[in-house]
Structure 1
Amino acid sequence: MGFYDLNKAQRLQLVDEINVAIRADIHQTTSDRIIAYFSDDDTYIRKIAYQAIGKIAAGSPDMQPKILTLLDELLTFNNEKVRQTVINAAGEIGMKEFGNVEHFFDHALFDEHHAVRNAVIGSVKKMGEKNPEPVLQWARKYLHHPDQEVRREICHGIELRGRTHPQDILPLLKELQFDKTARVKRTLVHVLGQIAYKKNCLGMVVEHLKTWDNQAIVRQALDEIIDVHHRYKDFSVLNQEQAIAYIDKHYWQEIQREPLA
């Protein structure tokens, strides 16, 4: 039975049970119960487990060394769900203390399983939003890594910070403008679109794109931004027509270049 097959009272009871069990494992320096929850088929059970790790680490700093030791031991566990949940748990800690968990992400970027690498993206998103300075410094190290998937994951991972503080990530995105890999370029264009429809972000994105040299990727990005304002019309600050008018006035007219038909 899945977590959301339970009624509300049963769900609350289960959350308490998971928190108690995980705290007991940490105290006893054992991992049987942690492994059971970290490997559960239900993604919500795994989420409760890694959030429990984060809460314990934040509320009981004296327990953090034990927590990190346990997570280190599970970082190479033979079940990808366990490794995935380890990275999500490290992300909970990294929202406040990235230095203590940085090595988890150095390792997991190259995990053989996509679920673990996707957990890196998700964790970088939430850490970058709450604790941007060290996380973005770390991300910069991998912007030009030979592995295209690493570059793509980093590009995607820094997106969430850009939705509220585009000025923090636009210089990093600019470094990818001449990437030769289609998958990385698609992610770059996607991230620019995801940033630009948020409040107070379109102007900053457009101004920054004026400094880019790769006009082909800029055109793709502007097309994506216009499209996003239609796809997310219920959430965009501007409607599509307003976005088109803004881009026409503040990009195409200012650089004295005609947009493609």
Structure 2
Amino acid sequence: MGFYELPKDERATLVAKIKDDILKDLANSTHLKTLQYFSDEDTYIRKSVYLAIGKIFFEQTGLQNKIIQLLDTLFKDEDFKVRQTVINTAGEIGKKQFETVQFLFDKGLFDNHHSPRNAVIGSIKKMGEINPTPVLNWAKTYLCHQDKEIRREICHGLELRGRKHPEDILPLLQELQHDKTKRVRDTLVHVIGQISYKKNCLQKVISHLKTWENKALIADALEEIIDVHHRYRDFAVMTQDQARQYIENNYSIE
């Protein structure tokens, strides 16, 4: 039976058991039960695990070294689900202590399976929203990496921070404006659109785009911005027509 097929009280009991089992493993310097949870087929079981370890890390500081050693060990597992859960766990820790788990993201970016790499993207999003300075400084070191997928993943990971603070990520996105790889370029245009529709964001995006050089990319980004204001019309602060008018009044492509 899946996690969300259980009644609410049974889910709470299971979450408590997961946390207790992890604490026992840490006390005994083993990871047998923890590994079972990390490799569980149910996504929500694995989520319960990484949330539990994140809480333990900050509640019981004396176990922090053991937890980092545990994550380092489990990241060597052949099961991609285990490595994915390691990265998601590191993301919970990185919300407050990114430097402690940075080495896991350095590894996760280059994983041979897409699931741990996607977990890196998701973790950059959630860490960057709460703990931006070290996360963005780290991300910047990979923006010009020779591997196009690394550049794309980093670009995508910047998105969530940009939805509230586009000024923080626009200088980083600007580094990718001349990227010739279609997947990277498409992701860049997508992210520009995603950081444009919240309150006070379009103004910042347009202002910064005026400093960019790649007019063809800017044209595509402006089209995406206008389209996003329609697709996200229930959440956008401006209507599509208002966004189009703002762009016409404040930006002209020569």
TM-score normalised by length of structure 2: 0.99
Where 2:119 maps in the other structure, the secondary structure is helix
C-alpha displacement of 1:62: 1.3
Look up the equivalent residue of 2:233 and give its one-letter code.
Answer: K
C-alpha displacement of 1:242: 0.6
Aligned to 2:196: 196
Distance in structure 2 (CA, Å) of the matches to 1:13 and 1:199? 41
Q: How does 1:201-240 map to 2 (within 5 A)?
A: 201-240=201-240
Look up the equivalent residue of 1:174 and give its one-letter code.
Answer: Q
Aligned to 2:24: 24
Where 2:243 maps in the other structure, the secondary structure is helix
CA deviation map 1:8-33 (0-9, x unaligned):
11111111111111111112111111
Distance in structure 2 (CA, Å) of the matches to 1:128 and 1:33? 31
CA RMSD of aligned residues (A): 0.8
Tell me which stretches of 4 or more aligned residues in structure 1 moved more than 3 Å: none
Distance in structure 2 (CA, Å) of the matches to 1:115 and 1:40? 14
Aligned to 2:85: 85
Aligned to 1:245: 245
Could you list the runs of 5+ residues in structure 1 that have no partner in the other structure?
Answer: none
20-29 vs 121-130, greater mean Cα deviation = 20-29
Q: How does 1:125-144 map to 2 (within 5 A)?
A: 125-144=125-144
60-69 vs 24-33, greater mean Cα deviation = 24-33
Aligned to 1:15: 15
Aligned to 1:105: 105
Aligned to 1:118: 118
Aligned to 1:68: 68
Aligned to 1:155: 155
TM-score normalised by length of structure 1: 0.96
Where 2:110 maps in the other structure, the secondary structure is coil
Provide the identity percentage: 61
C-alpha displacement of 1:116: 0.6
C-alpha displacement of 1:248: 0.6
Aligned to 2:4: 4
Could you list the runs of 5+ residues in structure 2 that have no partner in the other structure?
Answer: none
Look up the equivalent residue of 1:219 and give its one-letter code.
Answer: A
